[in-house]
Amino acid sequence: MGGDRLENKTSVSVASWSSLNARMDNRFATAFVIACVLSLISTIYMAASIGTDFWYEYRSPVQENSSDLNKSVWDEFASDEADEKTYNDALFRYNGTVGLWRRCITIPQNIYWNSQLEKTESFDVVTRCMGFTLNEQFMEKFVDPGNHNSGIDLLRTYLWRCQFLLPFVSLGLMCFGALIGLCACICRSLYPTIATGILHLLAGLCTLGSVSCYVAGIELLHQKLELPENVYGEFGWSFCLACVSAPLQFMASALFIWAAHTNRKEYTLMKAYRVA
């Protein structure tokens, strides 16, 4: 009689632990899914931020429609020998936008001749962009922009290089973390996602570092090259995407690590109970 009661209690305990384990698994699976969604959104935001040209935007008065002046500005802006001061002067004057890979200006279309050979002017504008080469990305910045004899400004040089490299490191870490998460799903175990969480944490730090370097670099540049009168600048939506991506990466990291660590802990306790 006593043995039957003991067996019944054991059966009830095992059943209750199984029910509790099922609830825990559902909770951890939900956290895992939410973390994956956050990771996907942050990856899309980061990729869009890297590939677009609106990290910083300048607003300037409309310039006169002179074909000779516009051609001269564009030739200097697009020249392989254009230094930092040359292309920044054009950005200031012609509503420029700057990304990690390209710089763009918006200039009026050239004066043209119509079919009646009457000289007319078009006040439409066209956006023209010029990419930064790898050589330009790693080129030294000078204390006095445009003056190669003023000495190398190491702080601005390394800030520029970091703002270019860190977003790619962040994107690579998230992609590598996604592969580990996929392996965790195949193995039906949450424990490997601790590595995914750590990689997302490092990715978030890289993104935050890139944003910080960009802000510091812009502020230092404007101290060297003051904006002309009636010209002002502001951070664009590409920069905002990077700013939003960082907290999403941190939240995904926290969920991945919490789900993996807590699930492992509960599994260890349940295993110890069954052995006892």
pLDDT at 230: 87
In whole angstroms, what is the distance from residue 276 CA to residue 270 CA?
Answer: 10
pLDDT at 267: 45
Query: If 0-12 CB within 10 Å is exposed, 13-18 middle and 19+ buried, where does residue 227 land?
Result: middle
* DSSP bridge partners of 57: 97, 234
pLDDT at 211: 96
Q: Quote the distance between the C-alpha of residue 140 and its chain's center.
A: 23
**Under 8 Å between Cβ of 85 and 114:** no
The whole-model pTM stands at 0.80
**Under 8 Å between Cβ of 22 and 225:** no
Instruction: Give the SS3 label for residue 56.
Output: strand
pLDDT at 66: 55
pLDDT at 237: 95
Please report the DSSP string for 211-271 in residue order: HHHHHHHHHHHHHHSPPPTT-EEEE-HHHHHHHHHHHHHHHHHHHHHHHHHHHHHHHHHHH
Q: Which residues contact 127 (CB under 8 A, 6 or more apart)?
A: 104, 105, 106
pLDDT at 133: 84
pLDDT at 260: 78
- Whether CATH 3.40.50.1110 fits 26-269: no
pLDDT at 69: 62
**Per-residue tokens: 200:** 């997302």
pLDDT at 128: 85
pLDDT in tens, the chain (276 residues): 544 544 444 444 444 444 444 444 577 778 888 998 999 999 999 999 999 999 999 998 766 555 566 677 777 787 766 788 888 888 988 889 999 989 999 877 654 434 443 444 445 778 888 888 888 888 889 988 888 888 899 999 999 999 999 999 999 999 998 888 887 777 766 667 888 899 999 999 999 999 999 999 999 999 998 888 888 899 999 999 999 999 999 999 999 888 877 765 544 444 444 444
pLDDT at 235: 95
112-113 and 119-120: which strand pairing?
antiparallel
Q: What is the DSSP letter of 104?
A: E
pLDDT at 246: 95
φ, ψ (nearest 5 deg) of residue 272:
-65, -40
